[in-house]
């Protein structure tokens, strides 16, 4: 009887070892499948720039039509919001109308995130006024003086003696940051600037307020009932309208790339989406939605 017990417990020991090995194998296989699914997920999230929402939504719709079973969700909130989401791991792709700042890159690194950027289009920031405003062109310096509060009346720009109402995007917007860096030369905005939650809000306000001025992405400006100001880089330059030619040849001074940011080099379905955005079909969508193609 004692021998039978010993044999039984001995066999149970072997079975326990085999069971542990079997469970471990299942766990490793499950983790491998999970890792594979994570890099090749069917649901892709894109978050960030309000300027790019229309473009990204149109690209996403065409991509899903071409790849049945894929789901791509697009939300705005501003470039800063998209960058924060990428750093926190709550979005697969960040759409940004500005470069990532060094402090954001440092924060990403501290959290094990490796942001990689890819431009997918260009945008000309349009400076807009009411259609009845007689002012039709400005230099970059004149725009700067308006938004830093040096110039306060349209009379100083060849218009009537009316106070200028300044409109801008909010500080979490990539458009706000880009305008401050490239037009205001990193100087502070005038305290009289009214911060608006979206480009559409700026367009609507300018179309209703005869003495207001705002700036927004070219795609939004084209659809709004406003006048686009011709811009001169300096007094000696030609005044030009933002369009495909002037943005690509850099004769228009307020132009910028539009980026997608990923955590590391995009792979699998994320790379498929990027490749689609850069393809002739994707670049055609860029053009049709009012943005500037890469070439």
**Residue of 168, 174, 173, 172 lying closest to 143 (CA atoms):** 168
pLDDT tens across 214-245, in order?
A: 999 999 998 899 999 999 999 999 999 999 99
Q: What is the DSSP string of 15-32?
A: HHHHHHHHHHHHHHHHHH
Report whether pLDDT(204) > 60. Answer: yes
For residue 260, tell me if it sits in a domain. Answer: no
Residues 251 and 128 in one domain: yes
- What mean pLDDT do residues 174-181 have? 96
- What mean pLDDT do residues 108-117 have? 97
Reading the block at residue 213, the tokens are 């001025």
Q: Which domain holds residue 212?
A: 123-255
Model confidence band, residue 9 (pLDDT cutoffs 50, 70, 90): very low
CB 206 within 8 A of CB 132: no
Q: What is the CATH number of the domain that holds 70?
A: 3.40.190.10
- Any bridge partners for residue 123, and if so which? 256
Reading the block at residue 270, the tokens are 């994320």
CB 162 within 8 A of CB 155: yes
Reading the block at residue 226, the tokens are 């406003």
For residue 293, tell me if it sits in a domain. Answer: no
For residue 295, tell me if it sits in a domain. Answer: no
CB 261 within 8 A of CB 114: no
**Count of positions (residues) in the chain:** 295
Q: Which residues contact 239 (CB under 8 A, 6 or more apart)?
A: 137, 230, 231, 232
Residue 288 phi/psi, 5-degree rounding, is -65, -30
The predicted pLDDT at position 42 comes to 86
Residues 135 and 239 in one domain: yes
| Euclidean distance between CA atoms 125 and 179, whole angstroms | 8
CA distances from 194 to 13, 189, 217, 225 (A): 75, 10, 18, 20
**Residue of 168, 165, 167 lying closest to 211 (CA atoms):** 165
Name the domain count of the chain: 3
pLDDT tens across 122-160, in order?
A: 999 999 999 999 999 999 999 999 999 999 999 999 999
Residues 111 and 173 in one domain: no
Residues 156 and 228 in one domain: yes
Q: Which of 9-23, 165-179, 198-212 has the lowest mean pLDDT?
A: 9-23
Q: Does 32 or 202 have the greater pLDDT score?
A: 202
């Amino acid at each position: 009887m004692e021998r039978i017990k010993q044999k039984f417990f001995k066999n149970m020991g072997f079975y326990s070892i085999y069971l542990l090995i079997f469970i471990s194998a299942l766990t490793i296989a499950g983790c491998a499948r999970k890792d594979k699914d994570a890099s090749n997920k069917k649901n892709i999230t894109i978050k960030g720039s309000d300027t790019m929402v229309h473009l990204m939504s149109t690209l996403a719709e065409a991509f899903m039509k071409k790849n049945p079973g894929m789901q791509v969700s697009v939300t705005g909130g501003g470039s800063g919001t998209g960058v924060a989401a990428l750093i926190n791991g709550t979005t697969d792709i960040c759409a940004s109308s500005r470069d990532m700042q060094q402090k954001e890159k440092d924060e990403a690194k501290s959290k094990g995130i490796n942001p990689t950027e890819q431009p997918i289009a260009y945008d000309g920031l349009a400076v807009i006024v009411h259609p009845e405003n007689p002012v039709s062109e400005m230099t970059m310096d004149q725009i700067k003086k308006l938004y830093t509060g040096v110039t306060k009346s349209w009379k100083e720009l060849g218009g009537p003696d009316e106070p200028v109402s300044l409109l801008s995007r909010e500080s979490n917007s990539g458009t706000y940051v880009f305008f401050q860096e490239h037009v205001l030369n990193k100087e502070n905005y005038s305290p009289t600037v009214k911060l608006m939650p979206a480009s559409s809000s700026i367009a609507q306000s300018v179309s209703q307020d005869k003495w207001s001025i705002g700036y927004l992405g070219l795609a939004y400006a084209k659809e709004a009932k406003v006048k686009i100001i011709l811009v001169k880089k300096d007094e000696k330059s030609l005044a030009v309208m933002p369009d495909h030619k002037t943005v690509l040849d850099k004769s228009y001074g307020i132009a910028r790339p539009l980026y997608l940011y990923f955590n590391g080099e995009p792979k699998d379905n994320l790379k498929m989406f990027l490749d689609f955005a850069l393809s002739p079909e994707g670049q055609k969508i860029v053009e049709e939605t009012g943005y500037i193609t890469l070439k």
